[in-house]
């Protein structure tokens, strides 16, 4: 946990960043308030590298969402009305990382600092992988069902494309790379760098595939909302990451 003076700086920075996201139209007002609350908690308990990686994930997501946005609107595959993300989306992507920070702080014997950092980055790697796959994949000319291989319209739950899969990998790997740099910069313990990069990239990419399967099987049948699908897939991503961490030793 940060000392008081640094905690104040972290909370103020979180408030400013959230206000900027609301003002720019990236988040709704309520989503911005939720992001402020959770972001403040994460930086106070986890530290600055945790907040920095979260902020960079949000920035990358906004840029991906607004890429060729008019074209997405014409195809009716845009996020929100004008690219904004609501409270359900924010909660779906911040509950699991926040929970990891809580457990890592409260029960370090269960989640040592290096493991917490690894799992936290894996959760955000899924978020980036899924967002990149969705926001760039909908621009592909065609998509196929992840389960049947049949052609489906781009943007369909469970639909994947070569373009989307490529960007899915980019999102996961970039998060691993940036996360590794941030944690090392702030002297946060992490597993061996090779394990960190490989494990997080694999976990994030595989989690995105799980999200597609959940979207086609459960979300399309009304058993899960979009946010619920993201939340379940991120939770499974963390589980996969933990298994990979053990396997990679």
pTM of this structure? 0.94
For residues 21-48, average pLDDT: 93
Residues in the chain: 249
Domains of the chain, by residue range, sit at: 57-248
The region of weakest confidence among 78-82, 155-159, 188-192 is 78-82
- Summarize pLDDT for 123-140 with one digit per residue, the tens: 999 999 999 999 998 888
Give the C-alpha separation, 55 to 186, whole Å.
16
3-state secondary structure string across 27-69: ECHHHHHHHHHHHHHHHHHCCHHHHHHHHHHHHHHHHHHHCCH
In the predicted structure, residue 194 carries a pLDDT above the cut 80: yes
Task: Calculate what percentage of the chain has a pLDDT beyond 70.
Answer: 98
From residue 54, alpha-carbon distances to 48, 59, 72, 153, 182 in Å are: 10, 9, 25, 31, 11
- Write down the pLDDT at residue 147: 92
The pair phi, psi for residue 152, each rounded to 5°, is -135, 160
In the predicted structure, residue 114 carries a pLDDT above the cut 80: yes
In the predicted structure, residue 80 carries a pLDDT above the cut 70: no
Q: Residue 3 carries which DSSP code? A: -
- Write down the pLDDT at residue 77: 73
Chain centroid, CA 27 distance in Å: 15
Give the C-alpha separation, 211 to 227, whole Å.
11
Residue 152 CB partners (closer than 8 Å, separation 6+): 143, 144, 145, 158, 159
Q: Between these two residues, 46 and 83, which has the higher pLDDT value?
A: 46
For residues 67-90, average pLDDT: 79
In the predicted structure, residue 218 carries a pLDDT above the cut 80: yes
pLDDT mean across residues, the chain? 92
- Summarize pLDDT for 59-77 with one digit per residue, the tens: 999 899 888 888 887 877 7
Whether 131 contacts 209, CB under 8 Å: no
Instruction: Please say whether the dihedral angle defined by the alpha carbons of residues 173, 168, 200 and 59, taken in this order, is positive or negative.
Output: positive
């Amino acid at each position: 946990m940060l000392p008081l003076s640094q905690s104040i700086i972290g909370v103020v920075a979180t408030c400013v960043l959230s206000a900027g996201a609301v003002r720019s139209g990236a988040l709704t007002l309520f989503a911005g308030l939720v992001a402020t609350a959770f972001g403040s908690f994460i930086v106070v308990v986890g530290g600055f590298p945790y907040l920095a990686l979260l902020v960079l994930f949000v920035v990358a997501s906004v840029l991906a969402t607004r890429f060729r946005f008019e074209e997405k609107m014409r195809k009716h595959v845009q996020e929100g009305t004008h690219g904004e993300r609501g409270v359900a989306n924010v909660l779906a992507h911040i509950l699991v990382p926040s929970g990891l920070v809580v457990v890592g702080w409260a029960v370090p014997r269960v989640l040592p600092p290096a493991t917490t950092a690894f799992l936290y980055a894996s959760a955000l790697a899924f978020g980036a992988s899924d967002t990149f796959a969705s926001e760039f994949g909908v621009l592909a000319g065609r998509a196929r069902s992840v389960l049947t291989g049949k052609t489906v319209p781009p943007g369909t739950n469970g639909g994947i494309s070569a373009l989307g899969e490529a960007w899915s990998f980019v999102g996961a790997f970039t998060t691993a790379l940036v996360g590794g740099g941030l944690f090392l910069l702030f002297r946060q313990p992490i597993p061996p760098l090779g394990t960190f990069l490989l494990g997080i990239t694999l976990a994030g990419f595989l989690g995105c595939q799980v999200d597609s399967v959940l979207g086609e099987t459960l979300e399309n049948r009304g058993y899960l909302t979009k946010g619920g699908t993201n939340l379940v897939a991120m939770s499974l991503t963390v589980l996969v990451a933990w298994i990979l961490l053990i396997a990679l030793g």
